[in-house]
Structure 1
């Protein structure tokens, strides 16, 4: 059984427990790499063609405008098929209550029929928001399993939680 992690993650200025900090690796990427290690999964990082601003406030402003206009931002590279995989992990930070819009750009192009989808989210207290409803639409035909929700400040202490979730 083979698996892939399709994820979006952002480094740079991020919000942690009430303060802004610069991080070299995005929180979602940390979790994606745990899954790669624990489940021998392939990784596919969804990256916007136009990078988001490093400045956190500017970034969330752009993200909000994209969401309000239901944008599908262009991405650097597109994953054309998930035919080779049984399990698809989908990871993202919660942006304005759901997935960042580049994830919509990517996921809408894939056929999820017969796949098992395991979503995970990093956040600062908002959990999955309404993303699970969006994932049901984006991953039509897939069996969507219970998701894993991890506060960004806890990602480096969450490997055991990730392992338990993978094995559920």
Structure 2
């Protein structure tokens, strides 16, 4: 039986929104991942780093930039048990420095995605996927990558219909 995993990285704390900085108790990507989990029969996995990112937006940006420039692979706190049981992975993440957070690179390089379907979803502040789709394809050459969905972080609270339509287009509902 085909199983779906929603693997997501999200960051709470300060975030750029509507032209300024505001505090998020729950990160935008987590909101989207939990909405997806209510729509699709799936397991949910939080991609978490050992070294936590600062809550302060400018400090977080500085750390994310340094990781990007160093092509870092931050250590993760946990692994997906029995990744082989999943045929489909919805991969949800924010856009950081023109791609995914470097923790997603660590995650994708930790498993063999050959024969799996990856469904990318990005939350962003205006830049969409940037280079993330290209990076996913490079890191997972044996995977099928579906049409992705880009959701502006300011719209994530009310994106249920958008998620359902996307899931329909990629054959998950």
Superposition map of 1:1-168 within 5 A: 1-79=2-80, 81-168=82-169
CA distance, structure 2, for counterparts of residue 92 and residue 136 of structure 1: 15
SS, match of residue 84 in structure 2: coil
CA deviation profile, 1:39-63 (whole Å, cap 9, x unmatched): 1211111111011001000001000
Q: Which runs of 4+ in 1 moved over 6 A?
A: none
1:78 positional shift: 2.1
CA distance, structure 1, for counterparts of residue 144 and residue 55 of structure 2: 36
CA RMSD of aligned residues (A): 0.9
* TM-score for the superposition, normalised by structure 1: 0.97
CA distance, structure 1, for counterparts of residue 141 and residue 39 of structure 2: 27
SS, match of residue 83 in structure 1: helix
Structure 2 alignment gaps of length 5 or more: none
Structure 1 alignment gaps of length 5 or more: none
CA deviation profile, 1:55-96 (whole Å, cap 9, x unmatched): 000001000000000000111112254211111100100001
